[in-house]
Amino acid sequence: MTGQHPSAAAPGRPPRAPRPGEGSSRARVLMWCLWDTGTSAYNAVMLTFVFTVYLTSPAFGSSEYTSTVLSVAMTVAGFAIALTAPLIGQRSDSPRSRATFLTGNTVVLVLCTGLAFLARPDPAFLFLGVGLVAVGSVAQEFATVSYNAMLPALAGPQRMGKVSGWGWGAGYVGGIFALAFVLFGFVTPGFLGIPTDDALNYRAVALFSAAWILVFCLPLLLKARSMPFRASINDAAAVPAQPRHRGILGAYAELFRTIAALWRVSRATVVFLLSSAVYRDGLAGVFTFGGVLAAGSFGFSLTEVVMFAVAANLIAALGAFVGGALDDAVGPRAVITASLVGLLVAGTALLFWHGKIAFWVCGLALCLFVGPAQAASRTYLGRLIPPGRDGEIYGLYATTGRAVSFMAPGLFGVFVTLMGAQIWGILGILVVVAAGLVLLLLTPRPPEGFTTARV
């Protein structure tokens, strides 16, 4: 294993010519982006807006009971991801195993989503439905580790920002189209004409989501083994390679050795994992509490909330597309910094500018900056990962994100309680974003020759 990318020139060494077949083609990039389009339906339809709302409805018990069951299941799923994502990534650091993990976990996601159709509106089916949703979320996260690990070799250093931005944008667009079709076709007004008896229309949403995921993910799954792959390079200044796959304890020992070696060779990688975990939790808080604030503090009706959700995702996609192009031009660090500053400005304005127009303007501005920050974070890490460790480090990326995922929700509640009004929950999210920005600014520059271009 090395601390240097294949495309980066070590000090005093001329850059090598690209290997044949290295980098991306339009077809490969399209297949890679479509995977995000497919899995986005799970986030938008199954986890956020439709199916979990169905599972916490009175048909399954009191709202307190069903919400608690869902919360416990998703907490357990989060712990499972945090503890094992780096190991999953570690074992996907070969072309064959990466394709196997991506395909296997995507298939599990499709199966869990489709089987959720069996969760009839009866308390006896609550654990089945919640369990399938939780297992599906774990499978999606594991698949995403392998998916992200494809980015550095697929895009190459000169197009990594653009490709990452298109992937994030495709996910936003796919999620909103899937959600819109579900809301109008299955729920209200239900133009597909599916009967509501036995909640058949809500249960059919699971079958639709499973089909959506399969159709859009299938092209990448079929070509996963032929996707570009970055192998380790022997180098005297490298992060030393370790024996791979010697059981769970051996895998964790290897993981800690990798972190220690990265700390010695490129401290920027480790510090960035921490800083990005913090501000990414703030970014997630923007979408998590956006609808809550729209309805509770700005008087939006349910229809207006849905309209805002559609606009918010489209604006975030636009931001991801534009931010990806800027990423390749000025570097991901500059894009992330500008985006976080923009988030702080728009969020602060929302505290003092009241009314629906204010929320439309400032809320959409927030979403505009979320897209490029998320896309550029993925590329920044991709430019810092030593070849041959893409899966392992993107697994750590997932773990660190899960480890601090309590911050934005927790501070949102703290400020609402302290200030006595829901609107001040925004301040809690801004505190998390600001903390992440400070940590990002304190992230040291990577050593020359360690990374690809434009970090």
DSSP of 225-281:
GGS--PPP---TTSPPP-----HHHHHHHHHHHHHHHHHHH-HHHHHHHHHHHHHHH
**pLDDT score of 452 more than 60:** no
- On the CB side of 178, CA atoms within 13 Å amount to 33
Residue 18 DSSP code? P
- Output the pLDDT for position 238: 45
* Cα separation, 214 vs 202, whole angstroms: 19
Residue given tokens 């991506």 in the structure block: 102
- Output the pLDDT for position 42: 92
Instruction: Note whether 431 and 411 are within 8 A (CB).
Output: yes
Alpha-carbon distances, residue 220 vs 28, 107, 324, 441 (angstroms): 8, 12, 21, 36
Strand locations in 297-400 (E): none
pLDDT tens by residue, 379-415: 998 888 877 788 888 888 888 887 777 777 778 778 8
Alpha-carbon distances, residue 7 vs 20, 26, 414 (angstroms): 13, 20, 47
Mean pLDDT of all residues in the chain?
Answer: 82
**pLDDT score of 194 more than 50:** yes
- Superfamily of domain 244-455 in CATH is MFS general substrate transporter like domains (1.20.1250.20)
The dihedral of CA 52, 58, 60, 66: what is its sign? positive
* Cα separation, 318 vs 327, whole angstroms: 14
**pLDDT score of 322 more than 80:** yes
Residue 419 DSSP code? H
Where does the pLDDT of residue 367 fall: very low under 50, low under 70, confident under 90, or very high at 90 and above? confident
The dihedral of CA 113, 118, 121, 127: what is its sign? negative
Residue 159 DSSP code? T
CATH architecture of the region 23-229: Up-down Bundle (1.20)
Judge residue 189's burial from the number of C-beta atoms within 10 Å of its C-beta, 0-12 exposed, 13-18 middle, 19 or more buried: exposed
Where does the pLDDT of residue 39 fall: very low under 50, low under 70, confident under 90, or very high at 90 and above? very high
**pLDDT score of 431 more than 60:** yes
Instruction: Note whether 120 and 203 are within 8 A (CB).
Output: yes
Where does the pLDDT of residue 434 fall: very low under 50, low under 70, confident under 90, or very high at 90 and above? very high
Q: CATH 1.20.1250.20 occupies which residues in the chain?
A: 23-229, 244-455
pLDDT tens by residue, 80-115: 888 888 788 777 778 888 999 999 999 999 999 999
* Cα separation, 117 vs 138, whole angstroms: 19
Whats the size of the chain, residue-wise? Answer: 455
Q: What is the pTM of this model?
A: 0.82
- On the CB side of 12, CA atoms within 13 Å amount to 0
- Output the pLDDT for position 247: 62
Where does the pLDDT of residue 129 fall: very low under 50, low under 70, confident under 90, or very high at 90 and above? very high
Where does the pLDDT of residue 237 fall: very low under 50, low under 70, confident under 90, or very high at 90 and above? very low
Residue given tokens 């599916």 in the structure block: 194
- Output the pLDDT for position 447: 57
Residue given tokens 């509770």 in the structure block: 296
Where does the pLDDT of residue 251 fall: very low under 50, low under 70, confident under 90, or very high at 90 and above? low
The lowest-confidence range among 52-66, 194-208, 234-248, 282-296 is 234-248
The dihedral of CA 96, 99, 101, 107: what is its sign? negative
**pLDDT score of 23 more than 60:** no
Where does the pLDDT of residue 302 fall: very low under 50, low under 70, confident under 90, or very high at 90 and above? low
Q: What is the mean pLDDT of residues 177-196?
A: 87
Judge residue 204's burial from the number of C-beta atoms within 10 Å of its C-beta, 0-12 exposed, 13-18 middle, 19 or more buried: middle
Instruction: Note whether 45 and 179 are within 8 A (CB).
Output: yes
455 vs 433, more confident: 433
